Structure 1
Amino acid sequence: MNAVSGWTGETACRLQSALRMSNEAFAEHLGIGVRTVAGWHQKPTLRPKPEMQQLLDTALEQAPSPVKERFSAVSSPAPEDDRLADAHLRAALEWLDEHSDWPSGTARDEVSRRLVQVDTQQLRDRGNRRARVNQRQVADALRAYYSDLPEGYGCYSACIDDTVAATSILTHADWLDLRASLFTDDRFRLTSATPGPTARLDAEAASRAAQRLAESLALRTKLVNMPLYRLLGIDIADGKIDGTLGISHFVDYALTMDLLEGELVDSLVAGVPSTPLRDRYLPDAAAVLDLPNRLCAGGTLALCAFARPADPFRGPADYVLLVQERSGHVVNAARRLAVIPKGFHQPMADLRADGRIGATLRREMEEELFGRDDIDNTVAHQRAADPMHPSRLSEPMQWLFGEPGRIRMESTGFGLNLMSGNYEFPGLIVVEDEDFWARYGGLVEANWESANLRQYSSRDRALLTDLIGDVAWSNEGLFALLQGLRRLGEIGGDRVDLPAIEGEI
């Protein structure tokens, strides 16, 4: 330590970080009280008394070389980077300081140092390795990890002809085949607009969070700290979906629960079952189901089916079904197959009204299918008082909602994704009027969240069977596809020739 500048609470905490000690261990190491160490965290500009300065000098002098190197690294001024000036990134850095009990500014320095060291080509190579881990491997690993499921619960599977499609979606018989209208049977309600508590981060969790921010900056992944609905309770019965919601923020999720996906996939790539974050945040089935006492973010995704007339090239009248390959720039399920639309359940302007699952699905239709960039919070700030007011809707959405009965929106099930603990509401969107596709089919275009968009005919049993068996699906995407096809088979009449799908848990 430079004798001129001396020790401060902040630099003492950096020595503690270099030693990788808890408050208690650091206090014992120095022979002082734990309250003194806690005081350094609370008052980073505090200058310890001369005798305390000597204790810190001695601790540094006697530290092993690796500790001195780490201390030098964390004490060196971090290079400035314009990307750190982003308002959402600043919020994430402040959150990381607070939840890691770091002195203010530590997260910024830590992320800056890591950002300089990030090799984007190595990250792309890692992304390619992760992409080779398929949906079945993920489902099998999670089913093995959570082998302690309580009676009545199970992971969703479906039998298609002679094959079985298994997922990592924890569900219950009462949560499947709901046929719940998202106009009349959607009863979710907000109970508190005050953000709930988030777990404190230990050294490992804080390090992973800082690395996530550095990598997101290096890859220019969009991370926007907007409010999210967290699930506090669920009550599904008699075709009604009911539950209670609270408020959290995206950074709470992105720097904690969302890290579980990459950790698991990396462990599968390495062939080494090492998942310390999962062991901490979501260690067993009881923790997964303990909704009030953990962060349970999530959302909805739906299979879209638009009626088309008979065609001399394509054949009889059918529904066109849409499937997306997720972009590599999204936070979760990157490069995986999913139905579309798909989105986090989050408010836009009205915290209470937007709590309905159907509100998110309507917003995602506008954003992901009909090009409404102004309601994409990763692209533009939300300034409209009523962003989904009829006068602001795209022309296709105005047509769909201009008269009752033009669009059917249903929830087909509910489950908890063991990958990150997210709640998943799969849905089915059906437009029976062939005039819609004739008018607006050419305007349907996925946004930046999709790498590409595919269409399938509801009468092409063979291709749909192959699609179900594709190992590139995300688990929630496959869940939504299977439940959507089951429901479409019940209501589609002559427009469908679907494979027989028997869901089970």
Structure 2
Amino acid sequence: MDVVDDWTAERAAMLQAACRMTNEQFAEKLGVSTRTVANWNSGVHPRTAEMKASLDTMLQEKITDAARARFRLMVEAETARTAAADRDLNAAEQRLTNDPNIGAALDWLDQHANWAPGTARKRVARELVSAEPGEVNDRRQLRSKVDREQASAALRAFYADLPDGYGRYSAHAGDGSVCTSILTRPEWIDLACTLTPANDQADLSRKASLQTSVLPEYAISAAVRRLAETLEANTRLVDADLYRLVEIDVAPGKLAGTFGLTSFVHYALTMDLLEAELADAIATGKALDSSSLPLRAHYMPDTASVLDVRSRLCAGGALALTAIARPAGMRRRKADYLLLVQERGGRVLNAARRLAVIPKSFHEPLSDFREDTQIGSTLRREMEEELFGRDDVDGTISSPRSADPMHPSRLSTPMRWLSERPDSWRMECTGFGLNLVSGNYEYASLVVIEDDEFWAECGGEIAANWESESLRQYSSTDREMLEELVSDKAWSNEGLFAFLQGLRRLAEIGGERVDAPTVDWELD
């Protein structure tokens, strides 16, 4: 190659490398300053026509044939790398274009970053192709090593300004004690609230809206990285309507308050980023302050902002300890309750690889936006989806097309069995709190199936869906195993909160079927 169409900083540096000259030698040969050559090596392109002419002359007349050959090989390699990168970038952009849910996220990002349409797609595509192979998985593995206790201790220091009457949910169970990052108060614990329409009365306000503003650059970059990681790790991201809490009104025997509406994409690209940011800071040993946690400092900087749910995005959900009565028999010496615990899978966006009760769900409308604000509606739907195998109520698989997906004629065999025998089971809310990890609201609940005929007739149809890596069984009479389970560091904060509150309530109502460790809670 004796002709260069345009001298970039990279090609000027290549020519120097091909000549095997120092900055001083190359500058002297060209008749330019040493600083100019150093600038080229730093990425500053040659600007003047005189400089480019000097480089042309050097290439054509002042170097050896061997140096010229080396330069040609370097340029050919650069051209091949650029072509490959362009192909990767085009493939990434095509992948982004073909996924309608990612498309909704890109549109949201363009709007909230104040970008021209299509800018987010290009930014995410560049982030996707620039990641080193395995980088996303390595980062996820590093985050997974940060356990609940580490996160709880870190957040205790960050949110030290607790108002009177509030505290972090902690408990003693048997000989052990555990702490969580669930911010709560005595009036929100031991609710014993049966989830019937008379008690489960939250309202929907279509007028409740959040003020929108252009995101700062660090929040935009984090959202871009989240979308790239979602694609790289094949995580399911599906946009859908999501309830957000606007007003809290919770008391024993009563769930009221008000919900508004938001989108899952809005949550996934803002508040849901706080957990990963916290885990990254802990894993790398950084001091936990506004410099290492800029997203937290922006979205939820203090306890007052945690409690001010009207002014921030507060999504969340319901999760329940499920207890199913089983008779004594050949495999069991005495009647008990089967307790189900899941290990969350790696493709879920929330509490991946953590222990949780089942069902665990985001609180979102299924078909009737106003009536579905009931926590009981969400739990019944999630029982169908996560335990009884109803794919058609799983919004991550397909959009609901039925006018009433929970109509009696569409129910699974286990849910139909329960619906026809309303006195054989109960659903209760056992506690409420705000999760300091993410800002989410958490309705801890208990599902108790008291008729052991259900297990005999329907037990074989109970299986966790794709959200779970595995489903664990525990007996309500195995005190030792339950004590060991409580102390497992793999629990998510909300999962442990719901498990402990469910176990505490089950001991009150379960009679001789329960021999569990005593759970005594306190606010830290």
CA distance in 1, matches of 2:40, 2:162: 47
Task: Kindly state the Cα deviation for residue 197 of structure 1 after the two structures are TM-superposed.
Answer: 3.7
Greater shift in the superposed pair: 106-115 or 231-240: 231-240
Report if the CA contact (8 A) 1:182-1:409 is conserved: yes
CA distance in 2, matches of 1:264, 1:181: 36
SS at match of 1:178: strand
Distance 1:139 1:438, change over 3 A: same
Report if the CA contact (8 A) 2:120-2:224 is conserved: yes
Report if the CA contact (8 A) 2:176-2:483 is conserved: no
Greater shift in the superposed pair: 493-502 or 398-407: 398-407
- The amino acid that maps onto 2:490 is A
Q: Deviations over 1:416-472 (max 9, x none)?
A: 000010000000000010000111111111011000000000000000000000000
Query: Of residues 181, 200, 223 in structure 2, which corresponds to 1:168?
Result: 181
Greater shift in the superposed pair: 380-389 or 80-89: 80-89
CA distance in 2, matches of 1:409, 1:228: 22
CA distance in 1, matches of 2:246, 2:193: 20
Query: Of residues 221, 229, 246 in structure 2, which corresponds to 1:232?
Result: 246
CA distance in 2, matches of 1:126, 1:367: 30
User: Residue 370 of structure 1 aligns with which residue?
Assistant: 388
Distance 1:409 1:120, change over 3 A: farther
Is 2:459 aligned against 1:446? no
SS at match of 1:405: helix
Report if the CA contact (8 A) 1:185-1:241 is conserved: yes
CA distance in 2, matches of 1:380, 1:348: 12
Structure 1 segment 39-54 matched on structure 2, within 5 A: none
CA distance in 2, matches of 1:63, 1:264: 39
Report if the CA contact (8 A) 1:196-1:247 is conserved: no
Structure 1 segment 79-228 matched on structure 2, within 5 A: 79-81=90-92, 82-84=94-96, 85-183=98-196, 184-192=198-206, 196-228=210-242
CA distance in 1, matches of 2:378, 2:207: 17
User: Residue 22 of structure 2 aligns with which residue?
Assistant: none
- The amino acid that maps onto 1:267 is A
SS at match of 1:186: coil
SS at match of 2:181: strand
Distance 1:475 1:64, change over 3 A: farther
SS at match of 2:325: strand
Distance 1:238 1:332, change over 3 A: closer
Q: Deviations over 1:379-415 (max 9, x none)?
A: 1121111111111110100000113212200000100
Task: Kindly state the Cα deviation for residue 313 of structure 1 after the two structures are TM-superposed.
Answer: 3.3
Distance 1:380 1:336, change over 3 A: same
SS at match of 2:151: helix
SS at match of 1:303: strand
Query: Of residues 248, 255, 266 in structure 1, which corresponds to 2:262?
Result: 248
User: Residue 414 of structure 1 aligns with which residue?
Assistant: 432
Task: Kindly state the Cα deviation for residue 67 of structure 1 after the two structures are TM-superposed.
Answer: 9.0
Q: TM-score, normalised by structure 1?
A: 0.84
User: Residue 366 of structure 2 aligns with which residue?
Assistant: 348
- The amino acid that maps onto 1:248 is T
Distance 1:67 1:397, change over 3 A: farther
Is 2:514 aligned against 1:500? no
Q: Deviations over 1:308-356 (max 9, x none)?
A: 0012333200000000000010001000000000000000111001111
Report if the CA contact (8 A) 1:195-1:249 is conserved: no
CA distance in 1, matches of 2:268, 2:319: 19
User: Residue 271 of structure 1 aligns with which residue?
Assistant: 285
Query: Of residues 321, 327, 337 in structure 1, which corresponds to 2:339?
Result: 321
Report if the CA contact (8 A) 1:198-1:295 is conserved: no
CA distance in 1, matches of 2:211, 2:380: 29
In the alignment of these two chains, the number of paired residues is 438
Is 2:318 aligned against 1:305? no
Report if the CA contact (8 A) 1:318-1:459 is conserved: yes
- The amino acid that maps onto 1:217 is L
Report if the CA contact (8 A) 2:188-2:252 is conserved: no
SS at match of 1:248: strand
- The amino acid that maps onto 1:209 is A
% same residue? 56
CA distance in 2, matches of 1:315, 1:185: 38
Task: Kindly state the Cα deviation for residue 119 of structure 1 after the two structures are TM-superposed.
Answer: 3.5
Give the structure with higher Rg (CA). 2
Alignment gaps of 5+ in structure 2:
1-38, 46-81
CA distance in 1, matches of 2:422, 2:253: 21
Distance 1:416 1:198, change over 3 A: farther
Q: TM-score, normalised by structure 2?
A: 0.81
SS at match of 1:414: strand
Task: Kindly state the Cα deviation for residue 254 of structure 1 after the two structures are TM-superposed.
Answer: 0.2
User: Residue 467 of structure 1 aligns with which residue?
Assistant: 485
Query: Of residues 375, 379, 400 in structure 1, which corresponds to 2:397?
Result: 379
Query: What is the root-mean-square deviation in Å for CA atoms of aligned residues?
Result: 1.9
Query: Of residues 395, 404, 409 in structure 1, which corresponds to 2:422?
Result: 404
CA distance in 1, matches of 2:496, 2:139: 24
CA distance in 1, matches of 2:419, 2:375: 17
Report if the CA contact (8 A) 2:388-2:462 is conserved: yes
Report if the CA contact (8 A) 2:199-2:253 is conserved: yes
- The amino acid that maps onto 1:249 is S
